[in-house]
Amino acid sequence: MTLLSLVLAAVAGLATVAGFAPYGLFPVPVVTVALLFALLGRRQSWRGGFAIGMAWGLGLFLGGVSWLFVALHRYGGMPVPMAATAVSLFCAYLALFPGVAGALWVALRRRRAVADALLAAGLWTLSEWLRGIVLTGFPWLALGYSQTPPSPLAPIAPLLGVYGIGFCLVLAGAALGLADWRSRAPLPALLLTLALAAGGWSLRTRPWTEPAGAPLSVSLVQTDIEQSLKWRADLQLQWLRVNLDLVREHPARLVVLPETTLPMLAAQLPPGYLATLTDAVGGHGGDLVFGVFLREADGAIHNAALATGASGHQRYAKNHLVPFGEYSPPMFGWFYDWANIPMSDQTPGGANQPPMAFDDQRIAINICYEDLFGAEIAAAAADATILLNMSNLAWYGDSLAQPQHLQIARMRALETGRPMLRATNTGMTAVVAHDGRVAGVLPAFERGALSARVQGRSGSTPYMRWRDRPALALALAALTASLLLGRRPAPVAAHDSAIQ
């Protein structure tokens, strides 16, 4: 194995980013996965498989989550060398998962096209699932996210979720990459790819959920406050006025302000400010949901969403916190010697918090990063008719983070059959329909509000009932089937240097 093989793998991983938003070239990941397994197919040792998988993963993550550098350097205050090192180490950690999958695939392959494609899909699905839970999880750029509408695989989401879609994608890509394109052997792989696409497409009109209650008029506010200015003490009263003015200017039955839109603890707000906010919506029988930090009597700080207005006071506190951004993992206190991140010592709000009730609709709130975890959102959706994400992506500037995060919200809507509302500071504030379509979106970095009438939905999709278990069962069944198939003798002359 030479440097060229590693470069090809890294370029393929980097090209995979084009499959995700904002580019939306959903066939690209199938092609890049095919190239990955074409390269892996020429390795003879698990070490070579690990190196190829690691290189592919580095290309994907360095290209796809490079926006973390903006948060650490521009807004977190880390020097450029430290921020670049931190992001590189984090991406190297993420790349371990495709690296280990590549190593195991080379070690366990059966040298039969069907068996090896099943092995690839099973190992990859398990590796992505593990990446979503280890050390609280970071499932960003799981391959299934690239397959939101109009991808023919998108309708699989209500059945198998994002990991099930990823299974299908890797199964097709690996089959294509391992086929012998010099003969008629590619025909079964092509037929498999078409069958998976046709099967997904056939589900597109299946109504998993149904309308519930009267539509709710909403106004999703985008405050567009620069992150570097948000916490300046001399500007805090200005930001409070901005929030109040926007609430008054965009009345609706439900007005929503973004995550931590009030840049101070709730107890530090000027006297009468909350009452003034309540009057701004309560005068026309409306409600307001806004983000603010809460400090409990025991000193615990919560990243919270509070509701006030005609339906009374309600609250939700973020439960799935971001490591390094919202809490410090053990032995990582040194990180905060280099980074200046406000309110970085938070406490989880607790599981099983009830949805907020507004007229006929029940809204399950998730804050920023929480919508990456499909199983948790599915659990919350069981008692809700609408999903609401409140975010502040100003930390990441004008980067891929905004459209990628909207695409994740689209997947959650697909999995649950619920509309997903998004109120953000700088973008992308949007209404996502229950079928994953973007029904409306505000331009990024513009102050204003998105108004819409949103129809809640009831009923359960299969994914809501079973969550990730069917996708994991499918992965384990694929591994079992692959390992049960007989192994052909290895070729006398290895092709470990065929693509170099």
Residues with catalytic roles? 259, 318, 368
Both tokens assigned to 459? 């009923």
Q: Beta strands 314-317 and 438-441: pairing type?
A: unpaired
Which residues face 316 on adjacent strands? 305
How many angstroms separate the CA atoms of 305 and 244, rounded?
Answer: 16
Contact 74, 228 (CB under 8 A): yes
Asked if 76 and 86 touch (Cβ cutoff 8 Å), the reply is no
Pairing, β 314-317 against β 216-222: unpaired
Strands (E), 261-360: 287-295, 301-309, 314-317, 356-358
Between helix 236-249 and helix 273-282 the angle, nearest 10°, is 10
3-state SS record for 391-421: ECHHHHCCCCHHHHHHHHHHHHHHHHCCCEE
Task: State which H helix or E strand residue 220 sits in.
Answer: strand 216-222
Q: Say whether the peptide bond before residue 428 is cis (omega within 30 degrees of 0).
A: yes
299: left (phi over 0), alpha (psi -120 to 50) or beta: left
Tokens of 257: 């302000």
Asked whether 377 and 365 are in contact (CB, 8 A), the reply is: no
Strand partners, 457: 211
- Spell out the residues 6+ positions from residue 458 whose beta carbon is closer than 8 angstroms to its own: 209, 210, 211, 212, 385
The phi-psi region of residue 352 (left if phi > 0; otherwise alpha if psi is between -120 and 50; otherwise beta) is left
Distance of CA 396 to the CA centre of its chain: 15
User: Which are the contacts of 233, defined by CB distance < 8 A and separation ≥ 6?
Assistant: none
Cis peptide before 150 (omega within 30 of 0): yes
Instruction: Give first-to-last CA distance, the chain, whole Å.
Output: 7
DSSP assignment letter at 427:
S
235 close to 197: Cβ distance less than 8 angstroms: no
Give the H or E element holding residue 453.
Answer: strand 448-454
Q: Which residues pair with 353 in a beta bridge?
A: none
- Choose among 159, 93, 148, 160: nearest CA to 121: 160
Q: Which two tokens stand for residue 265?
A: 């603890």
